[in-house]
A = this chain, B = another copy of it.
Amino acid sequence: MDTTIPGNEPTPSVQIDADRLEANITAMASSTRARGVALRPHAKTHKIPEIAALQLAAGAVGLTVATVGEAEVFAGAGVEDIFIAYPLWVDSAKGDRLRRLAAVARITVGVDSAESATALARSLGAAAGEVAVRVELDSGHHRSGVASGDAAGVAVAAAKAGLRVTGAFTFPGHSYAPGMPSTAARDEDKALSQAAAGLRAEGFAAAELSGGSTPSALMGGTATELRPGVYVFGDAQQWELGTIGPDNIALTVAATVVSHHRSTAGEPGHFLLDAGSKILGSDRAAWATGYGRLLEHPEARIVALSEHHATVQWPAGEPLPARGTRLRVVPNHVCLPVNLVDEVQVVRDGAVIDRWAVAARGRNS
């Protein structure tokens, strides 16, 4: 088993399969191109300029990020078109940072209320027209965003405050559950269409309509732009949702078997891996089978997770892998492990060929 994991790197460590990464990037670029929609990948998943460069080279129109800090990292790496898809509350300090960003890149931010649009314009001052805004819609995820019927009202308030309104966006996050991707895509279509009609009625020019989660990205028909993030790596959630199979998962956490726990009468044994919540993250959806999956052992279950221990339940009757064995763990939600390490190893043909810094790690604000 040792030989399936390249390098004698200390475990746990994050490894990226370069061939799979490139194939995932190419496939999404081709699919969106074939549908005639723009691709603006969400970079919060990878936080790595080298991966952003691959996405842009494959035809992405720009990047999506979640925070001003992430935008600063990617603009610093030369990305020229960045959408901060978040309902920012912009005070004067953040206004200063946005102004500096707008001097080097095309910057768009989300707004979901007249109040936040007004605060944004006030903090930008004379530069208000240099930052584009899109109105966020709640298409069914019920997190941020306004009802689609209220989008025009927010747009009018934003325009009145001096901002340049270029469209609307939504995150159909309710797609992240079994059987939900197509429902979420329909909800997204409806919300974007209604918002577009409202914007037209108020005299706004042809709107950018941005949508798309990884599960629902290619199911809708209204968005002019899609923002999937997880598709570059895949993860156990996508595997269990049926969106990305184990053969396409590009990011794993290499871990070592450190302890065996004796089976008791009638119960299967378990063993411990040295990867816990401090590298895998502890997200676990209600429908998940565990705290991640083992790439080569889909029958195993990660039944508990501590900070530095994953408890793996092994099929009854099968001998536990020897202590010292290295195994690959597929995290449940891949956006978290990347944010827990400073560096990832890039693997091709069984060897570590490069190391990439997670340059936007921890840029939460």
Name A's B-contacting residues (CB within 8 A).
8, 10-13, 44, 66-69, 86-89, 91, 93-94, 112-113, 115-116, 119, 138, 142-145, 147, 173, 256-262, 272, 274-275, 277-279, 281-283, 304, 306-309, 311, 322-324, 335-336, 339-342, 362, 364-365
Q: Which of B93, B322, B364 is close to A279, meaning CB atoms less than 8 Å apart?
A: B364
Q: Which of B283, B307, B323, B340 is close to A115, meaning CB atoms less than 8 Å apart?
A: B323
Contact between B336 and A339, CB atoms less than 8 A apart: no
> How far apart are A341's CB and chain B's nearest CB, in angstroms?
6
Q: Which of B89, B144, B256, B260 is close to A256, meaning CB atoms less than 8 Å apart?
A: B89
With a CB–CB cut-off of 8 A, which chain B residues contact A274? 86, 89, 365
Contact between B8 and A93, CB atoms less than 8 A apart: yes
5 contacts between A and B (CB under 8 A): A11-B365, A89-B256, A278-B339, A281-B282, A340-B362
With a CB–CB cut-off of 8 A, which chain B residues contact A336? 277-278, 282, 307
With a CB–CB cut-off of 8 A, which chain B residues contact A115? 322-323
With a CB–CB cut-off of 8 A, which chain B residues contact A257? 89
With a CB–CB cut-off of 8 A, which chain B residues contact A275? 364
Known contacts A113-B259, A365-B13; is-contact A143 B66 (Cβ 8 Å)? no
* CB closest chain-B residue, reference A307: B335
- List 17 additional contacts besides A89-B323, A144-B258; criterion CB under 8 Å: A8-B91, A10-B69, A44-B307, A44-B308, A66-B307, A66-B308, A89-B256, A112-B259, A113-B259, A115-B322, A142-B261, A143-B306, A147-B262, A278-B362, A282-B282, A307-B335, A308-B364
